[in-house]
Amino acid sequence: MKAIFIKEINSFFASPIGYLVVGIFLIINGLFLFVFKGEFNILDNGFADLSAFFVLAPWVFLFLVPAVTMRSFSEERKQGTIEVLLTKPISSFQLVFGKFLGSFTLIFIALLPTLLYVFTIWQLGNPVGNLDLAATTGSYIGLLFLAATFTAIGVFASTLSQNQIVAFIITILLCFIMLYGFDGLADLNVLNNTFKIETLGLNYHFNSVSRGVIDTRNLIYFVSVTTVFLVFTKLNLNQIKQ
C-alpha cells in the first residue's frame, strides 16, 4: 500500500496536476474572499471571521476533488495497467486505500496554505485576535472529513468508466447529491416530518461540526460514508479482476 501511495503522490507532482490543484484552489478562494465584490468578500462584510470561506470551500471541493480523483482507476483501466496492479501481492483494499490516501493527501496539502487566511483575519480583528477559534477549528475539521468523503466517492466513480471525463462528471453528481440532495428532499417535506432526512446528507453534519462542537456522531457519519464508498470501490475492482 505504501508503494501505491508514494506512486500517487509522485504522479501528482511529477506533472502539473498537483501544482494546478493547489494553485487553483487558493486563487479561487482568494479572489472570492478578498477581491470580487459580493457576499463572500470578507473585507466588504466588515466582520473578522472566516464563515464565508467555509461556505465557499465545499463548492470549490465539488469540482476540485473530482479533478484529482478522476484519474485514479480510469487511467489505469484505459492504459491496461489495472490488470498488472491487481496481480501484485497486495489486497484489493490496500490498492484502493493507497489510491484514496494519495488523492486525499493532495487535497490536504491544498488546504494547508489557507491557514494564512486565519492569520489574516486574526490580524484584521478589532481587537487583534478577535476570532472564534473553536468554530474555525471545527470548520477545518469538517472540511477535512468532507474532503475525505468526496475523495472516496471520486475514487469509486473512477472505477465505473475508463473515461476520466465521465468519472469527473459522475463524481460531481454523486458529491452534489450527498452534500445538498437530502436538504432538498427535506425542503420538499417528502416524509411529512416523520424523519429528519437532512441528517443523511453531508451538509447537515458539516454545518454541525463547523459550529465548533465536535460530536462523535458527526465524525462517525463521515467515516461511515467514506468507508462505504471505499468498500464499493473494492467490490468494483473485484468485478474487473474477474
If you ran DSSP here, which 8-state letter would residue 154 be given?
H
Phi-psi region of 193 (alpha: psi -120 to 50; beta: other; left: phi over 0): left
Report the residue count for the chain.
242
> 88-116, pLDDT tens digit by residue?
777 888 889 999 999 999 999 989 999 88
Amino acid identity of 159?
T
Banded model confidence at residue 172, pLDDT cuts 50, 70, 90: very high
Exposure letters 63-88 (e unless 16+ CB within 10 A, then b): ebbbbbbbbbbbbbbeeeebeebeee
> 113-144, pLDDT tens digit by residue?
998 888 888 877 677 767 778 888 889 999 99
> 197-219, pLDDT tens digit by residue?
888 899 999 988 888 777 889 99
* Cell 501481492 belongs to residue: 89
* % residues pLDDT > 70 (the chain): 94
Nearest partner of 50 among 144, 141, 122, judged by Cα: 122
Q: Are 203 and 185 in contact (CB under 8 A)?
A: no
State residue 240's pLDDT score.
Answer: 73
CB atoms within 10 A of CB 43: 10
State residue 171's pLDDT score.
Answer: 96
Q: Kindly give, in sequence order, each residue whose CB lies less than 8 Å from that of residue 48, ignoring residues fewer than 6 positions away.
A: 42, 121, 122, 124, 125, 126, 130, 131
Question: Distances from the Cα of 22 to the Cαs of 105, 114, 149, in angstroms?
Answer: 11, 10, 19
Judged by average pLDDT, the poorest of 14-18, 182-186, 238-242 is: 238-242
The grid cell for 61 is: 471541493
- Average pLDDT over the chain, rounded to an integer: 85
Domain ranges of the chain: 2-241
